[in-house]
A and B are shown apart, each in its own frame.
Chain A
């Protein structure tokens, strides 16, 4: 088999790990692929390179893939997602001044009680004529949607009670250090960088807001997937083997070291290892804390592109872009996620594959065996922190049921 070259766009984040490890550990080569990487600083650049053909596929924010397909703010261009690169893996890091007011010391906060205290802080500041300001990595990001979901449920109007601004991940710690923002919601290692520099404290992780929230995806123009299905399926297999390698504790140190290299994250292996191992240091000098499911990979078919997760992101896009529900748009949003490509790519491998394309998001509280086309699949708890359940068939009613702020 001759080796086919593929260019992959990425931002320096721990959840860019799978394509990088697929190349570095030879999983790509086993599938006849050689992956070249193009790093950017800003998501707009990653997206542009993908649309203009500089890259063949990219590490991308899941909501941005959907927004691009629906033509939000630019001409519509259909993207396709055959593989989810990570669930969660983000945190909310606040300045010490704010964290000390709203969060308990030495442990992660509880979303409800941190929310209550934050609300009274918001009210206090409003009386003084100022607002708390949060930074997120992009308007169309899981960070923005989870932060807003949490704030709104706690009675804080994301559009009017606080300011939410956009900061590219590598600048998030700087923004906190320079008092440009009071808090950041960003992926790793950028929370840990802020902690290490002593400019902030990790108060919540996004897994506490939605235990199994879709985060980054492997995205490509839909026509590229259709034209070259075989190559993409080989890439999906390589990523799958990389995910299995990623979750094995025996590999954590090596993988952290690879990701830390200059051409990848160009950072500290020690900090990167925290996200890989779900051991998070909340504040400078503290003992690292076990945060189960901080970044969720591989297990429970975590990399499967559930259409119901695309639908949830679509619902939040409507909510915060203030748009009316449109059944056709929901279909187009769900079409971005391609479970069938995942299925054919991993057929015959020793791994469970879900039988359904969609599920009730947030409905599993214990562990639940579910139907599969191969292997045995048991899903773990996946709740939203407010206990709401999202039914992709009932998007309009779901939106009605959410707090209006």
Chain B
């Protein structure tokens, strides 16, 4: 496991590094400079990033991940004090994982594994959500195109569907693309849409 520890305080970073001794097979990289952090992460290409909740670079890091999803990585966070409720709330709110009391050494390995799993689950969820949204807007545009065809060519709904599907297959395009072309043409030609 490749682990990047982001901490501007070299002493604390060293303690964290020690705490990671338990985590079997591992490479630990400490990043303590704010400038050039993005590049450092890209070079290290870690499996997981370990950072303090109050770290001053959090906004920068989140922005960096938002801009380039491809380099986005699971984040495990640690805090000075905490209780069970807080941890539960943190997990609900989507933190990959949460480490209490700075570091409780025995729990490090399962927490880091959990961080990676949760991150993957969230990424998958986001991808599915996007697919579902696309599918939804596809359906809307296909329905509009069908209505135009039904009105213009005086055909039934199944016939309109078949017409769209056949045309899509013949031209090696998605049905939604054909539908969009029809709707756009109708708009430009001053149809009632």
Contact = CB atoms under 8 A, between A and B. Distances in A.
Contact of B95 (A48, A73, A180): A48
Contacts, number: 74
A340 interface: no
A74 B93 contact: yes
Interface in A128-168: 137-139, 165-168
Contact of B54 (A45, A51, A74, A166): A45
Interface string B62-94: 110010000000000100000001110110111
Contacts of B66: 73, 139
B159 to A, nearest CB: 30
B146 to A, nearest CB: 21
Interface in A36-69: 40-45, 48-49, 51-54
B50 to A, nearest CB: 15
Interface of B is mostly: helix
Contact of A44 (B34, B58, B90, B137): B58
A171 B63 contact: no
B35 A51 contact: no
Contact of B53 (A49, A53, A168): A49
Interface string A370-386: 00000000000000000
Given A52-B86, A52-B89, A166-B63, A45 B53 contact: yes
B60 A51 contact: no
B56 A171 contact: yes
A42 B59 contact: yes
Contacts of B92: 75, 77
Contact of A168 (B56, B87, B89, B90): B56
B63 A170 contact: no
Given A166-B60, A168-B60, A42 B55 contact: yes
Given A45-B53, A75-B122, A171-B34, A166 B89 contact: no
Contacts of A139: 62-63, 66
A349 interface: no
Given A165-B63, A324-B137, A42 B93 contact: no
Q: Which of B55, B59, B87, B90 has the most CB of A within 10 A?
A: B59
B59 A166 contact: yes
Interface string B38-68: 0000000000000001111111111100100
B126 to A, nearest CB: 9
B62 A44 contact: yes
Contacts of A45: 53-55, 58
Nearest to B126: A73
B94 A42 contact: no
Given A75-B92, A168-B59, 13 more contacts: A42-B58, A44-B61, A48-B77, A52-B86, A53-B89, A54-B86, A74-B94, A77-B92, A77-B94, A165-B60, A165-B63, A166-B60, A171-B56
Identify the 9 closest CB pairs spanning chains A and B, nearest first: A44-B58, A166-B63, A75-B94, A51-B93, A41-B56, A42-B58, A42-B59, A52-B90, A74-B94
Interface of A: 40-45, 48-49, 51-54, 73-75, 77, 137-139, 165-168, 170-171, 178, 180, 324
